[in-house]
Amino acid sequence: MDHLALDVISLCRKLAGFTEEPGHITRTFLSPPMRSVHRELGARMEQLGMSVNIDAAGNLRGLYPARTPGARRVIIGSHLDTVPHAGAYDGILGVVMGIAIVEALTSLRMPFAIEVVGFSEEEGVRFGVPFLGSRALAGTLDDSVLALRDAQGVSVADAIRAFGLDPARMPEARLADNTLGYLEFHIEQGPILESLNYPVGVVDAIVGQSRINVSFTGKSGHAGTTSMKLRRDALAATALWINFVENLGVSTTGLVATVGRLEIEPNARNVIAGQVRASLDVRHADDSVRHDAVERMLKHARDLATERNLEVASEKKLDQSAVQMDPKLVSRMAEAVKSAGYPVHHMSSGAGHDAMILAPKIPAAMLFLRSPGGISHHPDENVLVEDVTAALNAGMHFLEQWETHLD
Ligand code: GLV
Ligand code: MN
Ligand code: MN
């Protein structure tokens, strides 16, 4: 498997060159470099005897046929989009590994077909709402999502049309009825496996997440002439609110809360900020703890606005429940890791994944690969060749187990 693992890594590095921003890795929903990724991966899939198509949500889909026609199918996938200034492995590694698994079969056919899916969108960068690709398979990419607009005013439906696809054909993107389940390989994006010195980890559950836009509106004015008492400074209020968000995250076990993006109007050194639009991302394994924390954060925003004579508004972009992976597949994955000769570690995921959208529809499993330095959503993101080998070995054992449990 080592040669395949080396190929996987060098292909991920090559695909990192398909970017919207020279010198960085940035690839958002249906941007021009996404077409180059489709072309490159589609050609590899075809060389392996897979039939390739792009569905109406822009997902790359390659089907490796089963031994017999009409057989059921297993999906292996992850996402092809990135955050701005990303690393080379978040998402795309899982797609390239799916193709490597097909290659490892060396033209042998399984009793089920293998569909490798490269999801078009998981990060939520372009439209503020994540998982557009996997929602198309789950059948939840509805008209309200298609109407969302990006910063340039382009809707999801328009972006799909501009890419040469037809949003009216979205129902055809749905999961085939005969799908047996879903497998996703992904870097851990955290430090746990490295601290244990384990190559891979079996994912039991994925934490829930809320994404909300919060805006404070006051009044802009002259920074030199407006007395401190008369100000309605939206940025000063936002700073206090961010501090509250962070403190609540720190003081609540298992909670993570992030304000990662601010848009400040007019954003000038000598002008009091009249409006700030902030993003809020809150995650916890227990949905009720997460909902309670979000309520407290929004209440604090309202209290600050009242104290400081500002207006505050919030818009919920995502309320994604925590999701369990399929218990049968989890225990088979643990068995597969063991049979491949590696130590078994069960863990939950703090990052969101396409698996959490598919898990309510079909049995889903995930295998994490150690992230050197725990680094992710950063250009220094990395993966070790021996860990890719371990994950491919475990993946092959996992598929063999599926062969004997075709239920
Ligand atoms: C996806 O990377 C996330 O933000 O969890
Ligand atoms: Mn990510
Ligand atoms: Mn990811």
Handedness of CA 161, 165, 166, 171 (dihedral sign): negative
Q: How confident is the model at residue 405 (pLDDT cuts 50, 70, 90)?
A: confident
123 CA distance to ligand 1 centroid (A)? 6
Identity at 176, one-letter amino acid code: A
- Predicted confidence (pLDDT) at residue 404 exceeds the cutoff of 80: no
The pLDDT tens digits of the residues spanning 190-223 come to 999 999 999 999 999 999 999 999 999 999 999 9
Which ligand neighbours the alpha carbon of 130 most closely? 1
Residues sharing a CB contact under 8 Å with residue 291, sequence separation 6 or more, in sequence order: 210
The pLDDT tens digits of the residues spanning 347-392 come to 999 999 999 999 999 999 999 999 999 999 999 999 999 999 999 9
Asked if residue 55 has its Cβ within 6 Å of ligand 1, the reply is: no
The pLDDT tens digits of the residues spanning 296-346 come to 999 999 999 999 999 999 999 999 999 999 999 999 999 999 999 999 999
Strand partners, 367: 185, 202
- Predicted confidence (pLDDT) at residue 62 exceeds the cutoff of 80: yes
Tokens of 113: 């077909």
Q: How confident is the model at residue 1 (pLDDT cuts 50, 70, 90)?
A: confident
- Indicate the pTM of the whole model: 0.90
Q: Which residues of 318-327 are buried (b: 16+ CB within 10 A; e: fewer)?
A: bebebbebbe
Please report the atom of ligand 1 found closest to the CA of residue 350. Answer: 5
Which ligand neighbours the alpha carbon of 209 most closely? 1
Q: Are strands 73-79 and 275-284 parallel, antiparallel or unpaired?
A: unpaired
Query: What mean pLDDT is predicted for residues 74-81?
Result: 98
CA angle at residue 231 from 228 to 237, to 5 degrees? 100
Asked if residue 274 has its Cβ within 6 Å of ligand 1, the reply is: no
Please check whether residue 272 is in contact with residue 308, taking contact to mean a CB–CB distance below 8 angstroms: no
Query: What mean pLDDT is predicted for residues 225-246?
Result: 97
Looking at residue 107, what is its pLDDT?
Answer: 85
Query: What mean pLDDT is predicted for residues 77-106?
Result: 97
Candidate of 81, 280, 353, 368 to mutate for ligand 1, largest count of ligand atoms within 8 Å of Cβ = 353
Task: Please tell me the residue having the least CA distance from ligand 1 atom 1.
Answer: 352
Which ligand neighbours the alpha carbon of 279 most closely? 1
Please report the atom of ligand 1 found closest to the CA of residue 90. Answer: 2
Query: What mean pLDDT is predicted for residues 4-12?
Result: 98
Please report the atom of ligand 1 found closest to the CA of residue 376. Answer: 2
Asked if residue 356 has its Cβ within 6 Å of ligand 1, the reply is: no
Please check whether residue 134 is in contact with residue 122, taking contact to mean a CB–CB distance below 8 angstroms: yes
187 CA distance to ligand 3 centroid (A)? 8
Query: Hey, how many other C-beta atoms are within 10 angstroms of the C-beta on 151?
Result: 9
366 CA distance to ligand 2 centroid (A)? 15
Asked if residue 352 has its Cβ within 6 Å of ligand 1, the reply is: yes
Asked if residue 123 has its Cβ within 6 Å of ligand 1, the reply is: yes
The mean of the pLDDT values for the chain is 97
Asked if residue 58 has its Cβ within 6 Å of ligand 1, the reply is: no
- Predicted confidence (pLDDT) at residue 280 exceeds the cutoff of 90: yes
Candidate of 123, 279, 357, 375 to mutate for ligand 1, largest count of ligand atoms within 8 Å of Cβ = 123
Lowest model confidence (mean pLDDT) among 1-5, 234-238, 302-306, 402-406 = 402-406
Which ligand neighbours the alpha carbon of 369 most closely? 3
CA angle at residue 343 from 339 to 345, to 5 degrees? 115
48 CA distance to ligand 1 centroid (A)? 31
268 CA distance to ligand 1 centroid (A)? 31
279 CA distance to ligand 1 centroid (A)? 14
186 CA distance to ligand 2 centroid (A)? 10
Looking at residue 402, what is its pLDDT?
Answer: 84
Please check whether residue 37 is in contact with residue 80, taking contact to mean a CB–CB distance below 8 angstroms: yes
Higher pLDDT, 308 or 178: 308
Which ligand neighbours the alpha carbon of 92 most closely? 3
380 CA distance to ligand 3 centroid (A)? 15
Looking at residue 407, what is its pLDDT?
Answer: 59
Short-list 65, 83, 332, CA closest to 183: 332
Please report the atom of ligand 1 found closest to the CA of residue 91. Answer: 2
Asked if residue 351 has its Cβ within 6 Å of ligand 1, the reply is: yes
Instruction: Give percent above pLDDT 90 in the chain.
Output: 97
Which ligand neighbours the alpha carbon of 376 most closely? 2
The pLDDT tens digits of the residues spanning 99-158 come to 999 999 988 999 999 999 999 999 999 999 999 999 999 999 999 999 999 999 999 999
